[in-house]
């Protein structure tokens, strides 16, 4: 909707003139004063429609300033005080536009908008400009003339004819003031202020203020320009005099400082036999240029810094001798506590790097894992075992090409990239460079930065790496680059060049061992405490891990331990008795209320509740999957923030259990007359994946057969539509979660039996693992409780089931699957 920008003062409307409706032309790039003729180009559709309407209204229209500089589809905002104008001529122009000549007549006020389509039309009235005597009129006019004379004298944008033109309009004060506003280069907003000033006295005061501002601006710009010119002239003069002084000294045979330094550099370069020929020639060229440059020039400082940096690189460093793999393995085992397959993969890579005849074909070692999972610790162990210095570079400092390859010497603040700086700082090419947190580079989505990083770390390309600053090929193949990334996959072209080492999260037992072996000794030393003053029990550490942290790594655990150390240190500093033992009962005295409450298994068997196992970014977790049967039409409802894969897994499990209704003693009509609701607790956490298929199958069988599930067993596994149990990932974390919850019998897919080797010996020794290939074997494990008091079956069936249980107990434990299957079928046959 078109809006009128009201004037700050009440307008004196002329009483002798009647109000009328006239078209309004918004002006955005120019203003036309009364008595001024101006030609503008009009090409917008609404403006061309306005011209047609003006031709039918004596060629009269209103010109109003709109502060919206860019035309929009919306209707414009218009100033209340405008100028009544007459169209003098209309001529065709390019692109169907018109060149329109307008003549300003007088000021006019916009009262309100009549319409905005197809052009703006407003109700207008003439304003009374006032003819009363203005106090100090002559002084105002003289001051305006004097200010304009100064502008003409100092500002070459105005000619002397401007003063003569204004003198012609002096008899009419109103015309004189409008002429000044039109001819001086004021801002459009300032010109509109002049038009808004209906009273002559106010208008003249505004003109005087604006003229003074223009003179002040021009005076300031003149001073600045004068200072810049003087500075440039002074520098030119000094440069000329220095050049003359250098020539005079040469004629007198005196040695210049610049030539002396140049000669020193040249002798140093020629005497360094370790420099490659290409580097020697480049440095001699730069040293020769120093003799012809002034020591006060910026180019002299740039050339000197370049020579110093190139000479400071470790050209004399001989390659290190091959390392002993046996000693490396021993050192890594001593410094790093982790899974055996990770160490094996790293040792295989190091062996391949040492024995390979063509290092260019080797991949790049990359450690992928959550924060705190030991990536940096493993790299430290590798560098220490190999006898190399370790340099760590954060990915946040490598998000642009200049961070990696440096900037060109002609750029302001030019310098080498981070990698060359690291080599210069360590004074060796035989380094272990750990580029950590590279997810920052991936998230920056700068393809050029990724390609530059690949050029620097890829053995196929970094044999002749050229930094933009040095401009000299450097061999980076001697550097062992190790990449580190958290939770992100490298895009192409990185992926196929990486030797990925998956750093999975630590389980609770591993965290306790690492804490006692590495973290606590470091904290004792940092806070000046001894083991007699502060002691941690395994159960105390276990409670801190399970109830105060939720992570795959050890960062949060170390932070919680530091809270305890700081508190004990404060007590010791206050001369209090310092001898504390942190156990499971007093942890909350130091750390407060537990932040996380771990899931616990049910205390007794229940219908429709099974112990599932889930993998999370913070490790494994116990997940109680619940099911409920209710009257309905045979639908399956799911809740708990489930993904599409998990929903499909539930549907497949339901179909399989329905197909096994006879075996389980379930009436087929129940699947039509009852709905099933499957719920996964902790609904705020999204869940997905197929590994809950085994657990869901058992829950559905439990609710449909009305038989409770053994609460002392946990399980995981993917189920196909035909009941096959497929392997799953994250077995170590899932088994650890069951062990923490006190569940020592775990059902796993048969193909996951090899994953048991990765588990701590304590867990393996105390846990019974049952491996299954089909869901039928799951039902044969006796997980569904047949106790008569827990479900409604006739007494005769209950007795038969009790007899079957007794017979099963009397048989040897290692019964064959065939015998178990026959016994189950016999029981079901008798029960049905």
> What's the CA gap between 673 and 631, in Å, rounded?
6
**Which of 415-419, 437-441, 443-447 tops mean pLDDT?**
415-419
Mean pLDDT of all residues belonging to the chain = 82
Residues 6 or more apart from 257 whose CB is under 8 A from it?
A: 295
pLDDT at 182 over 70: yes
Question: Is there a contact between 711 and 601 (Cβ–Cβ < 8 Å)?
Answer: yes
Cα end-to-end span (Å), the chain: 80
Instruction: Give me the pLDDT at residue 700, please.
Output: 92
Q: How far is the CA of 257 from the CAs of 75, 253, 264, 294, 557, in angstroms?
A: 72, 13, 11, 9, 61
Q: What does DSSP say about strands 37-42 and 98-115: parallel, antiparallel, or unpaired?
A: antiparallel
> What's the whole-number mean pLDDT along residues 84-97?
89
- Using 50, 70 and 90 to split pLDDT, how confident is the model at 725? very high
Contact 504, 369 (CB under 8 A): yes
Instruction: Calculate the alpha carbon distances from 277 to 262, 271, 305, 308, 652 in Å.
Output: 19, 12, 20, 17, 71
pLDDT, residue 686, reads 83
**What pLDDT, on the 0 to 100 scale, is given for residue 821?**
45
Structure tokens at 247: 């020539």
374-430 pLDDT, tens per residue?
888 888 888 888 888 999 999 888 888 899 999 988 888 888 999 999 999 988 888
**236 classed as catalytic:** no
In whole angstroms, how far apart are CA 380 and each of 334, 384, 389?
12, 6, 9
> What is the rounded CA–CA span in Å between residue 59 and residue 54?
5
The predicted model gives 543-552 an average pLDDT of: 85
Phi, psi (5° rounding) for residue 25?
-105, 115
> Percentage of the chain surpassing pLDDT 90?
17
What is the structure's pLDDT at 801?
58
Which residues are registered as beta bridge partners of 675? Answer: 630
Which residue out of 191, 384, 734, 820 is catalytically annotated? Answer: 734
Instruction: Copy the structure tokens of residue 105.
Output: 């007549």
- Residue of 601 and 178 predicted with greater confidence: 178
Task: Determine how β-strand 431-436 pairs with β-strand 465-466.
Answer: unpaired
Dist. CA 509–CA 740, nearest whole Å: 9
Q: What is the pLDDT of residues 270-329, one digit of tens each?
A: 888 888 888 899 899 888 888 777 777 778 888 888 999 999 999 887 677 777 788 888
Is the distance from CB of 607 to CB of 790 less than 8 angstroms?
A: yes
pLDDT for residue 256 is more than 90: no
Backbone dihedral region for residue 364 (phi beyond 0: left; psi -120 to 50: alpha; all else: beta): beta
Q: What digits encode the pLDDT tens for the residues 640-655?
A: 888 899 999 999 999 9
Q: What is the 3-state secondary structure (H, E, C) of 328-349?
A: HHHHHHHHCCCCHHHHHHHHHH
pLDDT in tens, 809-828: 554 444 444 444 444 444 43
Alpha helix (H) residue ranges in 461-597: 508-514, 520-527, 538-548, 555-573, 587-591
pLDDT at 616: 76
Statement: residue 627 has pLDDT above 90:
yes
Question: Could you report the per-residue pLDDT of 555-572, keeping only the tens digit for each?
Answer: 888 999 999 999 888 888
Check: CB of residue 483 under 8 Å from CB of residue 367. yes
Q: How confident is the model at residue 737 (pLDDT cuts 50, 70, 90)?
A: confident
What pLDDT was estimated at residue 755?
84
Q: Residue 736: pLDDT band by 50, 70, 90 thresholds?
A: confident
- Over the stretch 570-610, which tens digit does the pLDDT of each residue have? 888 887 667 888 888 889 888 888 888 777 778 888 899 99
The one catalytic residue among 64, 383, 546, 691: 691
Peptide bond into 799 cis (omega under 30): no
pLDDT computed for residue 600 by the predictor: 77
pLDDT single digits (tens) 461-518: 888 899 999 988 888 888 999 998 886 567 766 778 888 888 877 878 888 888 988 8
Catalytic (active site) residue 277: no
pLDDT band at residue 791 using 50, 70 and 90 as cut-offs: very low
- Looking at per-residue confidence, does 804 or 10 come out higher? 10
Identify the DSSP state of 723: -
Do 151 and 211 contact (CB within 8 A), yes or no? yes
**pLDDT per residue as tens digits for the range 189-225:** 888 888 888 888 888 888 888 888 888 888 888 888 8
**What are the residues whose beta carbons fall under 8 Å from the beta carbon of 630, sequence distance 6 or more?**
674, 675, 677
């Amino acid at each position: 909707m078109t809006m009128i920008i009201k004037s700050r003062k009440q307008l004196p409307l002329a009483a002798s003139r009647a109000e009328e409706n006239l078209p309004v032309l918004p002006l955005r790039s120019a203003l036309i004063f009364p008595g001024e003729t101006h030609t503008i180009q009009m090409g917008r559709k609404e403006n061309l429609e306005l011209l047609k309407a003006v031709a039918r209204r004596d060629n009269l229209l209103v010109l109003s300033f709109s502060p919206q500089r860019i035309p929009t589809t919306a209707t414009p905002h218009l100033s209340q005080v405008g100028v009544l104008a007459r169209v003098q001529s209309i001529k065709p122009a390019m692109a169907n536009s018109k060149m329109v000549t307008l003549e300003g007549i007088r000021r006019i006020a916009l009262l309100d908008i009549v319409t905005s389509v197809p052009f703006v039309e407003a109700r207008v009235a003439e304003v009374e400009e006032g003819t009363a005597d203005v106090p100090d009129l002559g002084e105002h006019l003289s001051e305006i003339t004097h200010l304009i004379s100064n502008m003409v004298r100092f500002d070459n944008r105005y000619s002397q004819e401007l003063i003569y033109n204004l003198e012609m309009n002096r008899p009419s004060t109103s015309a004189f003031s409008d002429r000044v506003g039109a001819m001086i280069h004021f801002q459009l907003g300032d010109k509109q202020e002049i038009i808004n000033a209906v009273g002559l006295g106010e208008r003249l005061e505004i003109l005087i203020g604006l003229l003074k501002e223009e003179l002040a601006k021009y005076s300031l710009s003149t001073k600045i320009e004068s200072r810049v010119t003087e500075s440039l002239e002074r520098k030119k003069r000094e440069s000329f005099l220095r050049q003359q002084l250098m020539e005079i000294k040469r004629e007198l045979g005196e040695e210049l400082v610049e030539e002396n330094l140049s000669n020193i550099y040249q002798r140093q370069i020629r005497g360094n036999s370790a420099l490659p020929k290409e580097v020697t020639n480049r440095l001699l060229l730069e040293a020769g240029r120093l003799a012809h440059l002034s020591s006060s020039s910026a180019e002299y400082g740039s050339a000197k810094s370049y020579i110093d940096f190139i000479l400071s690189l470790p050209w004399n460093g001989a390659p290190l001798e091959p390392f002993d793999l046996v000693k490396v393995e021993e050192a890594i085992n001593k410094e790093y506590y982790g899974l055996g397959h990770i160490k094996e993969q790293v040792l295989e890579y190091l062996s391949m790097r040492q024995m390979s005849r063509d290092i260019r074909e080797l991949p790049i070692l990359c450690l992928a894992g959550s924060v705190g999972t030991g990536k940096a610790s493993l790299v430290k162990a590798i560098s220490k075992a190999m006898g190399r210095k370790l340099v760590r570079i954060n990915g946040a400092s490598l998000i642009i090409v200049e961070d990696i390859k440096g900037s060109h010497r002609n750029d302001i603040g030019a310098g080498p990239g981070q990698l060359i700086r690291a080599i210069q700082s360590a004074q060796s090419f035989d380094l272990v460079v750990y580029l950590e947190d590279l997810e920052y580079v991936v998230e920056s989505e700068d393809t050029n930065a990724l390609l530059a990083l690949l050029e620097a770390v890829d053995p196929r390309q970094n044999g002749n790496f050229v930094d933009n600053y040095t401009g000299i090929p450097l061999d980076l193949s001697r550097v062992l680059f190790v990449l580190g990334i958290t939770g992100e996959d490298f895009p192409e072209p990185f992926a196929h060049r990486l030797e990925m080492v998956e750093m999975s999260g630590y389980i609770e037992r591993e965290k306790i061992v690492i804490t006692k072996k590495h973290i606590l000794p470091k904290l004792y030393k940092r806070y000046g405490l001894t083991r007699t003053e502060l002691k941690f029990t395994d159960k105390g550490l276990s409670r801190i891990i399970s109830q105060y942290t939720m992570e795959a790594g050890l960062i949060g655990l170390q932070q919680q331990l530091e809270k305890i150390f700081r508190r004990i240190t404060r007590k010791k500093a206050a001369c209090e008795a310092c001898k504390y033992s942190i156990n499971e009962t007093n942890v909350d005295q130091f750390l407060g209320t537990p932040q996380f409450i771990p899931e616990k298994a049910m205390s007794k068997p229940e219908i429709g509740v099974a112990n599932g196992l889930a993998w999370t970014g913070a490790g494994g977790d116990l997940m109680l999957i619940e099911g409920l049967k209710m009257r309905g039409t045979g639908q399956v409802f799911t809740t708990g923030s489930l993904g599409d894969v998990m929903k499909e897994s539930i549907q497949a499990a339901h179909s399989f259990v329905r197909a096994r209704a006879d075996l389980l003693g379930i009436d087929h009509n129940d699947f039509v007359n009852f709905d099933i609701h499957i719920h996964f607790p902790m609904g705020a956490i999204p869940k997905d994946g197929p590994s809950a298929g085994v657990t869901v199958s058992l829950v559905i069988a439990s609710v449909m057969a009305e038989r409770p599930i053994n609460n002392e067993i946990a399980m995981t596994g993917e189920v196909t539509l035909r009941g096959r149990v497929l392997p799953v990932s994250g077995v170590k974390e899932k088994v650890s979660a069951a062990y923490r919850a006190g569940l020592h019998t775990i059902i796993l897919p048969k193909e996951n039996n090899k994953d048991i080797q990765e588990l701590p010996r304590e867990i393996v020794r105390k846990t019974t693992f049952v491996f299954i290939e089909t869901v039928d074997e799951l039902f044969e494990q006796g997980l569904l409780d047949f106790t008569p008091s827990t479900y409604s079956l006739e007494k005769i069936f209950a007795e038969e089931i009790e007899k079957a249980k007794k017979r099963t107990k009397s048989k040897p434990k290692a019964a064959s699957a065939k015998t178990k299957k026959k016994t189950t079928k016999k029981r079901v046959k008798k029960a049905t």
